[in-house]
Amino acid sequence: MSMRPIVRFGDPVLVTRTTPVTKFDQHTAALVRDLLDTVDAPGRAGLAATQIGVGLRVFSYNVEDRVGYVINPQIAELSEETQEDEEGCLSVPRLWYPTRRAERAVVTGVDLRNEPVTVEGTGLMARCLQHETDHLDGMLYLDRLDPDTRRRALRDVRRSDWFMPAEAPEPAGVQLPSAFGGTA
């Protein structure tokens, strides 16, 4: 089993659009195995490759006894009917906010043999499919919140014990060369 560490909010990989998979080799198979192993923990419904620091268009899911993965997923269909429920993210730990999503979603993509796959679902599965596809498009669920809730969420992120700003001050006594922002 290869459980990979989860990348947290603030890492640029989470807001970068992923690259489609073009090689279906042992490296792609290893990535899929890692995604399936990592999503197979209590409380986890889905995991995008970006959440383990990989900029490829792949996600895994583990919702209501349905476990699988999709390579190069695209949203093929969303219902007009919506749901609003608390949503969270492994990359934004312990913070949940009401997020509006389509009640039903259909995702198309391919498997490890580059054969077409379609995954569809309602409720939690629909939410998962949309959430993970968003990750691969460089979007976090926080981006979908209404403006007031988003401001509160970002404030909560900054106050959380796991958040480290990208521009943390240099440790005392350490001086970077001028080429890296220090003084000469």
Where are the alpha helices (H) located in the chain, listed in sequence order?
A: 26-39, 124-136, 147-159
Residue 172 confidence (pLDDT)? 53
* Residue of 77, 84, 103, 132 with catalytic role: 132
pTM: 0.87
Residue 181 confidence (pLDDT)? 45
Residue 120 has pLDDT above 80, yes or no: yes
Q: What is the signed CA dihedral for 121, 124, 130, 134, rounded to 10 degrees?
A: -150
User: Is 86 annotated in the active site?
Assistant: no
